[in-house]
Amino acid sequence: MKIGLVEKVLIALSVLVVLGSFAFAIAARSKPDSVVVLKTLDMTCGSCAVTIEKTLLGKPGVGEVAVDVGAAQVVVIYDARATSPEMLATAVTAAGYRSGIVQNLSLDRYREITGQNGSDKKPLIKIGCGKECC
């Protein structure tokens, strides 16, 4: 069976579309380059911390989230091209926890100040408050 010119063109276009979408997917991946520290009120336990973490990790551009219930702080490592500190604070507020921006800085500056590499994953979540929710 011979393949005609129209079929060859359609196959070529299909291959280009698949390769093009693959290349776009690779280019669209976020690379965290910024850190925002949020003051977040109304957190009382580890369950609150998990809710906030899941909320933020579901947002485009968010790489890592660390929640410290006792200090009422949320640290978010994110890609500034994909989201903004204001959008992150708004997402936390929409999840039921009043939140505002304390500090926004580059990932390099954050590492310099804290001595932490963004991927060290030292959990700040303090689980359990002794109430039924935990």
What are 63-120's pLDDT values in tens digits? 999 999 999 999 999 999 999 999 999 999 999 999 999 999 999 998 888 887 655 5
- Band of residue 60 on the pLDDT scale cut at 50, 70, 90: very high
Paired strand residues for 39: 73, 100
Residue among 88, 1, 80, 82 at smallest CA distance from 37? 88
What are 67-81's pLDDT values in tens digits? 999 999 999 999 999
pLDDT of residue 124: 42
> Which amino acid belongs to residue 67?
V
**H helical segments located in 29-128:** 46-57, 85-94, 107-114
Q: What is the pTM of this model?
A: 0.68
Query: DSSP state, 72?
Result: T
Number of H helices, E strands in the chain: 4, 4
pLDDT of residue 72: 95
Residue among 126, 64, 63, 53 at smallest CA distance from 91? 53
**H helical segments located in 4-84:** 5-28, 46-57
Q: Among residues of the chain, what percentage have pLDDT more than 70?
A: 69
Q: What would the mean pLDDT of 14-27 be, rounded to a whole number?
A: 57
